[in-house]
């Protein structure tokens, strides 16, 4: 497979020429943060909502994607008249640090005119991602975000925002997430990484000059991750043991005999057209590192001591990647810190992916929480 199309897009971005000091000790000489915004910042600059994207998401939260041509990835929640209402809020979404849609990451040149970082890109943390976002928010002259919202790895960023910049977050909505990455989740990420390493086109991470990308390895990584995003019920309902329409022989040895195989292969092959393998390595590592309690002497409640932020924590009953128990642990730590917190487990059989899908309960909860918070924040209703 040829080089991905990613580099050819001109993204809306801000450049921070003083760079960014990372948790690992490396000082990035220059920082670029690519982002999109929707709606209008009010005169008080108090209606900004930051949306944090997940592992393979990006800033195109409420518009057609420039690479895939697909619709907005959070159409369920973001837009005019939606729960995160772009008529009411100034919605910002930035590509994460380490990403591949314009923000500083492994496919960017180490310095102007030099070769891309590749695997020499320094390891980053969720906190580094949040620090980069904070630079953007400062540049936009926003002192306090009305809300920070995200699911999965986006939810990790929400928790980190509330812990690191409590005064800058009025309301926090971490969805389908956890305060640390579990051994099982690390294990699945490691399988994906090993699949990428095993692909000869990976070429030690310096594949940019070869005109080839490790499509096989990255595709396998995406396939295994995708299984973890779905519930067993969802897979059974969608595919069960149904055969492909074109399956000639009932006992074909190879090829996509079962529909679920064809679906997964499609997920893998479309993914590699829009995502960079080194970014995948960097970002999965950042998720694995994440352990918010460890950043606070092993006591998660200390991360939120004295927090002024209002929290609404949402989990999904069939999510086995970030099970409800992990959201409940966050809610318990917030209670211990005497924070203002509500916690809802949404009944759904769609698995982890439910946060991206049509879930009326999710829409109602987000709309209700934000409306209540808007009243408390003194935001004028429309």
Query: Among all residues, which ones are annotated catalytic?
Result: 152, 319, 352
By CB under 8 A, tell whether 186 contacts its own copies.
yes
Q: Which of 13, 95, 104, 282 binds its own copies (CB under 8 A)?
A: 282
Q: Interaction with its own copies in 294-333: which residues (CB under 8 A)?
A: 294, 320, 323
**What distance in Å separates the CA atoms of residue 348 and residue 86, rounded to the nearest whole number?**
27
Nearest 10 degrees: CA dihedral of 150, 154, 156, 158?
Answer: -40
Q: Which residues of 253-292 are buried (b: 16+ CB within 10 A; e: fewer)?
A: eeebbbbbbbbbbebbbebbebbbbbbbbbbbbbbbbbbb
By CB under 8 A, tell whether 94 contacts its own copies.
no
Alpha-carbon Rg for the chain, nearest whole angstrom, is 20
- CA-wise closest residue to 119 among 190, 205, 194: 205
Q: Which of 9, 21, 29, 198 binds its own copies (CB under 8 A)?
A: 198
By CB under 8 A, tell whether 105 contacts its own copies.
no
**What distance in Å separates the CA atoms of residue 34 and residue 98, rounded to the nearest whole number?**
11
Q: What are phi and psi of 288, to 5 degrees?
A: -60, -40
Q: How far is the CB of 56 from its own copies (least distance, A)?
A: 16
Q: How far is the CB of 3 from its own copies (least distance, A)?
A: 18
Nearer to its own copies, 85 or 319 (CB): 319
Nearer to its own copies, 13 or 125 (CB): 125
SS3 assignment, position 6: helix
Q: How far is the CB of 80 from its own copies (least distance, A)?
A: 37
**What distance in Å separates the CA atoms of residue 281 and residue 298, rounded to the nearest whole number?**
26
**What distance in Å separates the CA atoms of residue 205 and residue 197, rounded to the nearest whole number?**
8
Nearer to its own copies, 111 or 187 (CB): 187
Q: Which of 58, 160, 276, 288 binds its own copies (CB under 8 A)?
A: 288
Q: How far is the CB of 354 from its own copies (least distance, A)?
A: 16
Nearest 10 degrees: CA dihedral of 189, 97, 101, 51?
Answer: 90
Nearer to its own copies, 238 or 376 (CB): 238
By CB under 8 A, tell whether 194 contacts its own copies.
yes
The DSSP string of 74-116 is: TTTTEETTSSEETTTSEEEEEPPTT-SSSSS-TTSBSSTTS-B
- Which residues, including other chains, have CB under 8 Å from residue 217's CB and lie 6 or more apart? 195, 196, 197, 198, 199, 201, 202, 277
Q: How far is the CB of 324 from its own copies (least distance, A)?
A: 13
Q: Which of 74, 117, 180, 322 binds its own copies (CB under 8 A)?
A: 180
Which range touches its own copies (CB under 8 A), out of 50-58, 167-175, 197-205, 337-345?
Answer: 197-205
Q: Which of 77, 126, 142, 260 binds its own copies (CB under 8 A)?
A: 260
Residue with tokens 């020499």: 120
Q: Which of 264, 341, 344, 370 binds its own copies (CB under 8 A)?
A: 264
Binding pattern for the stretch 214-253 against its own copies, x by CB under 8 A and - elsewhere: --xx-xx--xx--x--x-x--xx-xxxx-------x-xxx
By CB under 8 A, tell whether 291 contacts its own copies.
yes
**What distance in Å separates the CA atoms of residue 21 and residue 68, rounded to the nearest whole number?**
33
Q: Which residues bind its own copies (CB under 8 A)?
A: 23-24, 119, 121-123, 125, 180-184, 186-188, 190-191, 193-195, 197-200, 216-217, 219-220, 223-224, 227, 230, 232, 235-236, 238-241, 249, 251-254, 257-258, 260-261, 264-265, 268, 281-282, 285, 288-289, 291, 294, 320, 323
């Amino acid at each position: 497979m040829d080089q991905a199309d990613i580099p050819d897009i001109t993204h809306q971005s801000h450049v921070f020429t003083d760079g960014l000091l990372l948790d690992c000790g490396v000082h990035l000489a220059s920082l670029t943060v690519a982002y999109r915004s929707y709606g209008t910042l009010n005169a008080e600059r108090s209606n900004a909502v930051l949306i944090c994207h997940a592992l393979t998401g990006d800033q195109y939260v409420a518009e057609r994607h420039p690479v895939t041509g697909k619709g907005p990835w959070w159409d369920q929640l973001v837009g005019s008249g939606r729960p995160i209402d772009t008529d009411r809020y100034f919605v910002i979404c930035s590509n994460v640090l380490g990403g591949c849609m314009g923000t500083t990451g492994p496919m960017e040149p180490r310095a102007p005119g030099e070769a891309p970082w590749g695997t020499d890109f320094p390891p980053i943390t969720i906190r580094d991602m949040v620090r980069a976002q904070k630079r953007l928010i400062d540049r936009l002259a926003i002192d306090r975000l009305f809300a920070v919202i995200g699911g999965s790895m986006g939810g990790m960023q929400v928790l980190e925002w509330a812990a690191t910049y409590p005064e800058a977050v009025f309301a926090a909505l971490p969805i389908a997430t956890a305060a640390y990455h579990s051994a099982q989740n690390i294990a699945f990420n490691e399988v994906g990484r090993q699949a990428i390493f095993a692909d000869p086109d990976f070429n030690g991470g310096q594949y940019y000059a070869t005109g080839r990308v490790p499509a096989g390895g990255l595709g396998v990584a995406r396939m295994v991750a995708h299984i973890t995003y779905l519930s067993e019920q969802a897979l059974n309902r969608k595919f069960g043991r149904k055969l492909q329409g074109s399956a000639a022989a009932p006992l074909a040895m190879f090829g996509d005999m079962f529909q679920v195989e064809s679906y997964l292969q499609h997920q893998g092959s479309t993914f590699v057209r829009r995502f960079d393998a080194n970014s995948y390595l960097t970002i999965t590592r950042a998720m694995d590192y994440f352990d918010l309690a460890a950043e606070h002497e092993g006591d998660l409640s200390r991360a939120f001591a004295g927090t002024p932020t209002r929290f609404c924590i949402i989990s999904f009953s069939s999510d086995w990647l970030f099970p409800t128990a992990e959201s409940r642990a966050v809610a318990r730590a917030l209670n211990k810190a005497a924070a203002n917190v509500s916690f809802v487990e949404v009944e759904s059989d769609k698995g982890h992916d439910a946060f991206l899908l049509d879930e009326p309960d999710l829409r109602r909860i987000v709309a209700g929480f934000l409306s209540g918070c808007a009243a408390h924040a003194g935001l004028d209703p429309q």
